[in-house]
Amino acid sequence: MLESFLFNIAESVLGKLASPILEEISLAWNVNDDLEKLKSTLSTVKAVLLDAEEQQEKNHELTIWLSKLKDACYDAEDIVDEFECEALLRQSTDSKVRRFFSRSNNPLVFRFKIGNRMKEIRERLDEISAQKGKFHLTERLVDERVVYRRREMTHSFVQASDVIGRESDRDKIIEYLLHHGELENLSVVPIVGIGGLGKTTLAKMVYNDERVDRNFQLKMWVCVSEDFDVTRLAKEITSSATGRSYGDLTMDQLQARLRRSLGGRKFLLVLDDVWNENLVRWVELRGLLEGCAMGSKIIVTTRSSKVASIMGIELAYNLLGLPHKDCLSLFLKWAFNAGQEKQYPNLVDIGNEIVRKCGGVPLAVRTLGSLLYASTDERHWLSIRDNEIWKLKQEENDILPVLKLSYDQIPSYLKRCFAYCSLFPKNYVLYSFELVQFWMAHGLLDSPGEDQESEDHGMQYVKELWSRSFFQDVEDHGFFFTCKMHDLVHDLAISVAQSECSTVTFLTPTVNEKIRHFSFLGTNLPGQEVPKFLHKLDRVRTIFFPVRGMGPSSETFIDACISRFKHLRVLNLSDSCFEALPNSIGTLKHLRYLDLYRNRKIRKLPNSICKLQNLQTLRLEECEKLEEIPRDIKNMSNLSLKHLSALETLVIGDCAKLNLMEMEYNEDFDLSLTSLVIGELPQLVTLPHSLQGCASTLQYIYIDDCPNFTALPDWTRNLTSLKRLEIIRCPELFSLPEEMHCLTALRELKIGLCPELRERCDPETGEDWPKIGHIPEIFLNGIKVKSTTN
C-alpha cells in the first residue's frame, strides 16, 4: 500500500508549527527548543518527500519509512492542536489579562505532560529523519510535474447536453425500444463496454429523448453499482417512480407500493452500472417488476458481457469506441478555451496523437484534455504523449493509469482533498458545501487570499477538481454546486487514499490500524453496538455516515467513539436515530464539524456542546423533533460563550418544532458566525435577537421556506460585513427595511418566490428599489435584474 500526500502533510504541519501563538506558548512553557528542532528536522525531511513518494514503488522499505513519518507528522499535528486549544481555553478563562503565558498560571502537570510529548515527538522525528540517508533521495522543493493554475478559470460548466457524436448509437437503441418486444412483458437491452467508454452518457441521451418520452408512460433511473441488493433497488426504483423516498418499509410493503406505482403502465427503467452475476438476485428483481404493461423495457449498462447474458438477453449492444474525430473535438474542448486552439497548431498536432492513444475512451480523452488545459508548454504535452503508461496496460483497456497520470499532476494541496472523496459511496451526489466544510475541518484549505471567505476558497478547489475532470455532472444551484465522480475516478481516489481512508460496515472484521477516516456504509443493527475493529484504533479523525437512511442508531456506539477517539475532527452522523447525543461530546476538543442532519428523534442537544471550542460547522437540518438549541446557551457565562467562538457556519432547517424566537436571551450569543443558513422553520418570524452578536461578522445569510417570516430584524443596519443575502419562499415578507441602504458590503441579493416582495423590488419602479439599488448584483426569481460586474 503506497503512501501518498506526505509532502502536503509535512507542509501543513510546518505551517502550524510556525503559528505565532504556538511560538509564544512554547517560550512560556519552556519547550521552544524542542519546537525549533522539530521545525528544522521536518523541513529537511520535507525536501526529499516528493522524490520519496515517487521512488517508493520500487522500494518497499521506503513505503514503510514514509508510513512511520506520516504517523509522526499527524501526531505532531495533534500535539500542536492541543497546545492551541489549551492556549485558547486559558485565554478565555482570563480574557482581560492574558496571564496564562506566565508560568505561575499553568497547571504544572499539563505543562509537564505536553512538554514531554513535544520532546518525544521531536526525538521520534529525528530518528526517522536520520534514516533517510540510506534511500539516496534527491531534494526537491517544488513538484515539477504540477502545472499550477491559480488563474481564474473561464470555463463555464460543460453541460450534459454537450455530448459529442453518438447519435447513431442513440438512434439504434431507441429504434429497438420503440419497435421490438412490444408483445413481451419486459425486455432488456444491455449496453456493454469498458469503463469510461460512454455507456452512462449514451443511456442518458436515450432516456432524455422525446421519442422515448412519448412511448413510455413512466421512466425510472437507478444507479446499481457493485451492490445489487434487491431491497435497496426496490426502494430506489419506487422512489424514482414516485419522486418520494421510502425509509423503513418492509419488503412486502415495498412490493405493494411498487406494484401500485407501476400500475399496469408501460415503463422504461435504466439500471446503470450493473455488476451482478448472480442469477437468483436478478430473477428476484425481475419478479418485482411484473405487473407492468407489455412493451416495457429495461436498459442495463455494464462492463461485463457475462452480466448481460445472465439477464437472459440474446442481443447485447456492444458499444464501440468514440470515433477519432469526435474524440479530438472532446479533447480540444477540455484542453482549450473555445477557439483558442487555433493559436497553437503544434499543440493540436501533439493532442491528436495523444487522442489516438486513448482508444476511443472519452473518459481518458477528457481527463487528458483537462490535464493539459492552461498549459501551453510543448514539452509538457510531449511528456504526456511519450509517457510510459502507454506501454503499460493498453491491452487490458484499463484507463486507470491515465487517470493516475492526471492525479500525479495535481498540486499537492488538491491531492488530499481529492483522496478524501473516497469516503463517499460510489455515485454519491457531492454537495459543494459539504465538501468544503469537510476539507476545512481537516485544515486542507490553505489560507484564503485577502477578501476571500474560506468557503469561496473551498469552491475554488471544487472548481479546480472539476476542471481537471475529477468531478463531473456539475450543476449550479445558486448558493451551492452538486457534482459526481465517475466510478473509475472514484476507484482512483480509493487507491490513493487507502492508507488513510476506508469504508466499513458494522460487520467489518478488521481494518488497517493506520486508518484515520471512516465512512460507514450501513447502520448498526441490534446486537452490533460497537464494531470490533474500532477497539484497535485510536487516532481516528473522521467518522461519517453518508448513506441515506443508514445512520447510527445506538448511543453506545457514539459514546464508544467519543471516548476512544479524542482527535475526532469530523463527526457526521447524518440519518442517525438516537434520542440523545451523549454529554461526553463536549470532550472532543478538536471537533470541527458536527452533523446531525435528518435525525428525527433528537429533542435537544446536550449543554456540553457549548464546550466545543474548535467547532466550525454545526448542521441541524431536518431534525424534526428538535425543540431547542442548548438551554445553557441562554445562561452562558462568558466562559462557555467564548468556547463556541470558532463556529462559523450554522445550518438549521426543517425543524418544525424548533422555535428560535422563544429563545430570547438576556445576553446575546457571543458567536462570530460568518454563514447562517435557515430553512423550513415555520415558527420563525424574524431573525432572533440572540444572533445580534454576530451581526458584524455575518457575511452570508440564506433564508428559505419560512412561511411566517415577516421582517428582517431591527438590527439589520449592524450587518456591516454582509456580502450575500438570499431570501427564498418567504411569502409573508412584504418589504425590506429602510436600513438596507446602509449595507455597503452587500454584493449580491437574491429574492425568489416571495411574490409581494418581488414586486416591490422591481428595478426603478418598485417601492423598495431605492433601498437596494446600490447592490451590485440583484436576482429576482432567478433572473439577474442588475449586474455591474462585467
Query: What span, in angstroms and rounded, lies between the C-alpha atoms of 338 and 327?
Result: 16
Name the minimum Å distance from CB 726 to ligand ADP: 30
Question: Residue 486 binds what, of ligand ADP, Mg ion, none (CB under 5 to 8 Å, by partner type)?
Answer: ligand ADP
Beta bridge partners of 268: 219, 297
Question: Residue 170 binds what, of Mg ion, ligand ADP, none (CB under 5 to 8 Å, by partner type)?
Answer: none
Name the minimum Å distance from CB 360 to ligand ADP: 10
Q: Closest CB to ligand ADP among 420 and 470?
A: 470
Name the minimum Å distance from CB 495 to ligand ADP: 17
Query: Are the C-beta atoms of residues 37 and 124 closer than 8 Å to each other?
Result: no
Name the minimum Å distance from CB 274 to Mg ion: 10
Q: Closest CB to ligand ADP among 366 and 569?
A: 366
Strand-strand pairing, 700-704 and 724-728: parallel
Name the minimum Å distance from CB 165 to ligand ADP: 5
Name the minimum Å distance from CB 333 to ligand ADP: 8
Question: Residue 366 binds what, of Mg ion, ligand ADP, none (CB under 5 to 8 Å, by partner type)?
Answer: ligand ADP
Question: Residue 401 binds what, of Mg ion, ligand ADP, none (CB under 5 to 8 Å, by partner type)?
Answer: none
Question: Residue 195 binds what, of Mg ion, ligand ADP, none (CB under 5 to 8 Å, by partner type)?
Answer: ligand ADP
142 Cβ partners below 8 Å, 6+ apart?
A: none
Q: Which grid cell is 709?
A: 417570516
Q: Closest CB to Mg ion among 126 and 277?
A: 277
Q: Closest CB to ligand ADP among 200 and 699?
A: 200
Of 423, 458, 390, nearest in space to 542 by CA: 423
**Run of H or E including 99:** none
Strand-strand pairing, 481-484 and 472-476: antiparallel
Strand-strand pairing, 481-484 and 430-431: antiparallel
Question: Residue 552 binds what, of Mg ion, ligand ADP, none (CB under 5 to 8 Å, by partner type)?
Answer: none
Q: Closest CB to Mg ion among 202 and 772?
A: 202
Task: For CA atoms 471, 475, 476, 479, give the dihedral sign.
Answer: negative
Report how far apart the first and last C-alpha atoms of the chain are (Å, whole number). Answer: 49
Name the minimum Å distance from CB 162 to ligand ADP: 6
Beta bridge partners of 572: 544, 595
- The DSSP secondary-structure symbol of 697 reads T
Query: What span, in angstroms and rounded, lies between the C-alpha atoms of 413 and 416?
Result: 6
Question: Residue 492 binds what, of Mg ion, ligand ADP, none (CB under 5 to 8 Å, by partner type)?
Answer: none
Residues in contact with Mg ion by CB under 5 A are: 200, 273
Query: What span, in angstroms and rounded, lies between the C-alpha atoms of 497 and 2?
Result: 9
Q: E strands, 597-672, where? A: 617-621, 649-653
622 Cβ partners below 8 Å, 6+ apart?
A: 597, 598, 600, 653, 654, 655
Q: Closest CB to ligand ADP among 242 and 482?
A: 482
Name the minimum Å distance from CB 187 to ligand ADP: 21
Residues in contact with ligand ADP by CB under 6 A are: 163-166, 193, 195-201, 301, 322, 330, 362-363, 366, 472, 486
Tracing cell 453518438 back to the chain, one arrives at: 166
Question: Residue 472 binds what, of ligand ADP, Mg ion, none (CB under 5 to 8 Å, by partner type)?
Answer: ligand ADP
67 CB neighbour count, 10 Å cutoff: 17
Output b/e per residue, 675-692; b: 16+ Cβ within 10 A: bbbbbbbebbbbbbbbbb
Q: Closest CB to ligand ADP among 165 and 606?
A: 165
Name the minimum Å distance from CB 302 to Mg ion: 9
Name the minimum Å distance from CB 270 to ligand ADP: 11
Closest residue (Cβ) to ligand ADP?
198
Residues across the chain: 790
Question: Residue 196 binds what, of ligand ADP, Mg ion, none (CB under 5 to 8 Å, by partner type)?
Answer: ligand ADP
Q: Closest CB to ligand ADP among 366 and 567?
A: 366
Question: Residue 411 binds what, of ligand ADP, Mg ion, none (CB under 5 to 8 Å, by partner type)?
Answer: none
Q: What CA–CA distances, in Å, run from 499 to 67, 274, 443, 525, 688? A: 9, 28, 19, 28, 46
Question: Residue 362 binds what, of Mg ion, ligand ADP, none (CB under 5 to 8 Å, by partner type)?
Answer: ligand ADP
Q: Closest CB to Mg ion among 196 and 582?
A: 196
Name the minimum Å distance from CB 317 to ligand ADP: 12
Rg, the chain, Cα only? 28
Q: Closest CB to ligand ADP among 296 and 370?
A: 370
Q: Which amino acid is at 412?
A: S
Half-sphere exposure in the Cβ direction for 393 (13 Å, CA): 9
Q: Closest CB to ligand ADP among 472 and 556?
A: 472
